Every structure is written in C-alpha cells, then in structure tokens.
Amino acid sequence: MSTIKKVVLAYSGGLDTSVILKWLQDNYQCEVVTFTADIGQGEELEPAREKAKKFGIKEIYIDDLKEEFVRDFVFPMFRANTVYEGEYLLGTSIARPLIAKRLIEIAGETGADAISHGATGKGNDQVRFELGAYALNPEIKIIAPWREWDLLSREKLLAYAEKHGIPIEMKHRQGGSPYSMDANLLHISYEGRHLENPGAEPEEDMWRWTVAPEKAPDAPEYVEVEFARGDIRAVNGRALTPAQVLAELNRLGGKHGIGRLDLVENRYVGMKSRGCYETPGGTLMLKAHRAIESITLDREVAHLKDDLMPRYASLIYNGYWWSPERRALQVLIDHTQERVNGWVRLKLYKGSVMVVGRDSASDSLFDPAIATFEDDAGAYNQADATGFIRLNALRMRIAAKRKAN
C-alpha cells in the first residue's frame, strides 16, 4: 500500500494531466490537490477547476503568477543577456523553477507529502521540475507518471480517458494540433509530429503570435523603451508593470513578424530535439538590453558577462535555477546592472529589429569629446598609442625573433 497520503499535481486540465489525476487516485489511493499556474499562456483556466471538481478534488489552486514570472524570473535572466546554444531564449526553461517553487509551497500549505507533474521521461522538464523541488524541499516525494505507467501513446491515453469517464475535448478526439505546445508570456514552443523531421520547413499556419515577415506592415515602426537597473520600466513613454512590458513587446514584435526560431537543440538528457519558438517580446528585450549596456557598462565588465552567459544559460536550461552557483552568478549579474539606466529606440520592420538610438543621461560612459573624429582639443593624445601598441606587441615580437633565429 502506498505511503503517500496527499499529492500536489501540476494540473493544466488537458488530456495528459486529467488522466494523471485519475491515475494518481487509482494507483496511489491518495488525496490529490491540483495546482494550475497562470503565467500568460492565454488560455481560459476556469475549465480546469470544473474538471477537477468532477473528480472530487477539494483543494484547487489556480494562481495568477504572471507578474512574479516576469519580475523574478524573466527579467533576471535577461539582465544576463541569456541565450542557450546561440539562439534559444529559454522560454520554457525559465517557467519551470517558478512552477516547482509553487508546487513546494502548496505542498507545505496543504500538508501534502508528494508532488506530481506531467513531464515525460524523454524531456528536460522532468529534470527542471524535480531539481527545483529537491532544492527547495529535500524530503519531498515526487511522482512522475510517465516514468511509471504504460500509457505511452496518445491512443492509450484516450482509451484510459474513455474507460474512466474523463471528459475529452473534441480537439483531442479529432487530433487537435499536430504539435506539442507550451506557452507563457515569454514564448510559445512547438515540437513533435511534422517537426520531428529536421529537414521539413514549419508550416505557416503553425505560428500563433507572429505574422509572416513578408506579410508584416510595409512601413517600419519605432519603439522606445526605458531601462532602470537593467529592467524595462516603460514602453513608448508609458510606465508598465513587468508583465505588461512583456505583453506589449509581444504585441509589437508579433505585429512585425519578429521572434520566430527553428532550432535543433541539445537536451540535457542526451538527445537532440527539433523545436520551433515564437519569442517576439523577448527578442526586442534582448536587443534593447545589449544596446543600453553598450553605453553604460565598463568594457571588461561587459566582456566578463559575455564569458559567463553560456554557463548561466546552461544552468537555466538544465534546471539549476535554484542551485547555489546560479544564485551566486545572479548576485554578480545584478551588481553589474546598478547603472544600466536610460533609453533605447528600436526600429521594427518585416521580421527584423534594429537599434537606432540609445542614451543614458546619468550613466553613459560614451564621451563624444574623446570619441569624435574631429579636433578633440587634446582630450586624447594620439601619440600615446605608440607605446601602447609596442608594449602589447612585446611578447609577439620576442616570439617572432626566436622563430627567426
């Protein structure tokens, strides 16, 4: 008999987690608490509550976490200019530590001794959820049904649902989207079916947030964003909350066909996986943040951040958000952002985003008196460059002489 009395389930109300809910009740004979996170996926969440009630669930959590998601997870990540494998802006990865955190909090609030999730045994999310959970509660028990049951196909899931009276939406009966999708305020991801052939071009009707670049407006649009300590606080002169900032940048970027990505990435579990992503707002944020840093960060600090970023990105991708090394890196990153203040102007046009202006009234390190190509009135002595070059060439001159001899 199971020793687990109560489990908190990360529950979307979709086919997989609805089956998991019933499966937990049948196989563990335990009480189930459902937790549904609203992180901006754009779906109606109240149906999840009604489905949970039909299975006798008494403790149902549906939490609006959009502001916390952007403020405490997305913004800190973008302060580091984080990109995984040169392209991926980590839209799925960065949501998992927040969900893990809330699962553990709810377990504490309800007296549950376990949590459960719907991540498969092939993917990264199982690692992200569970590393986060153990970091926050080392004694928690974790149930991962996809690693235990034999319902390893959509057909078996549907059959189980039919047998146990689990409501199945028509989109599931008729096939629904051919893709496995994950959405939040930062992005939408698409995997599976047609995309499992890395040589096949994504179908145009797959994309949800962005217009095709060739169908975007024929006139460019200018967007001005204002930064305070490395975070965007206003768009086009209007002060916005973190979630509002990202929502507005998503609208603007999507309108101009910005933020599409087709990527074959290396999963932490070892396999290569092809996925497509839409991250319009994140694409604008990254471009603007690097631009404001270009005039406010010291050269060596900027280069140090660039050196550390791939390591930081891997920590997030692999599920180590709550690790001591990620926290330590964040302290350094946040320290570098104290003077990252000012504004950036972006030009959006048919899938592209270009920086066309940037300034910081109080923190700019750009000195036009020194940088000018005109007479600088002695601000910079060009003759100093002779000794600078000779000293920096010294080791190479010594090596060249040795080679010549």
Q: Give tens-digit pLDDT for 78-125.
A: 999 999 999 999 999 999 999 999 999 999 999 999 999 999 999 999
Of the residues 96, 102, 260, 358, which is catalytic?
96
Of the residues 180, 314, 352, 364, which is catalytic?
180
Of the residues 12, 16, 273, 360, which is catalytic?
16
At 176 the pLDDT is 53
CB count in 10 Å sphere of residue 400: 11
d(CA 116, CA 12): 12
d(CA 320, CA 133): 11
At 44 the pLDDT is 83
Quickly tell me which residue has 């979630």 as its tokens: 243
Catalytic residue at 16?
Answer: yes
At 249 the pLDDT is 98
Cβ–Cβ < 8 Å for 259, 88: no
Of the residues 79, 102, 125, 360, which is catalytic?
125
Quick one: angle between helices 299-318 and 280-296, nearest 10?
A: 150
Show pLDDT as tens, one digit a residue, over the chain (405 residues). 579 999 999 999 888 999 999 999 999 999 999 999 999 998 889 889 999 999 999 999 999 999 999 999 999 999 999 999 999 999 999 999 999 999 999 999 999 999 999 999 999 999 999 999 999 999 999 999 999 999 988 789 999 999 988 887 655 555 555 688 999 999 999 998 889 999 999 999 999 999 999 999 999 999 999 999 999 999 999 999 999 999 999 999 999 999 999 999 999 999 999 999 999 999 999 999 999 999 999 999 999 999 999 999 999 999 999 999 999 999 999 999 999 999 999 999 999 999 999 999 999 999 999 999 999 999 999 999 999 999 999 999 999 999 998
Catalytic residue at 306?
Answer: no
CB within 8 A of 259, min separation 6: which ones? Answer: 187, 209, 210, 253, 277, 278, 279, 280, 281, 282, 283, 284
Residues 183-297+339-359, CATH architecture: Alpha-Beta Complex (3.90)
Spell out the CATH class of 6-70+91-176: alpha beta
Catalytic residue at 96?
Answer: yes
Which two three-digit tokens encode residue 332? 């350094």
Catalytic residue at 375?
Answer: no
At 116 the pLDDT is 98
CB within 8 A of 13, min separation 6: which ones? Answer: 36, 45, 47, 48, 51, 52
At 178 the pLDDT is 65
| Residue 82: DSSP 8-state | -
Specify burial of residue 232 (Cβ count, 10 A radius: 0-12, 13-18, 19+). Answer: buried
d(CA 279, CA 93): 13
6-70+91-176 shares its CATH topology with 183-297+339-359: no
Domain ranges of the chain: 6-70+91-176, 183-297+339-359, 370-404
β-strand pairing of 272-278 with 188-191: antiparallel
d(CA 61, CA 33): 8
3-class state of residue 252 by DSSP: helix
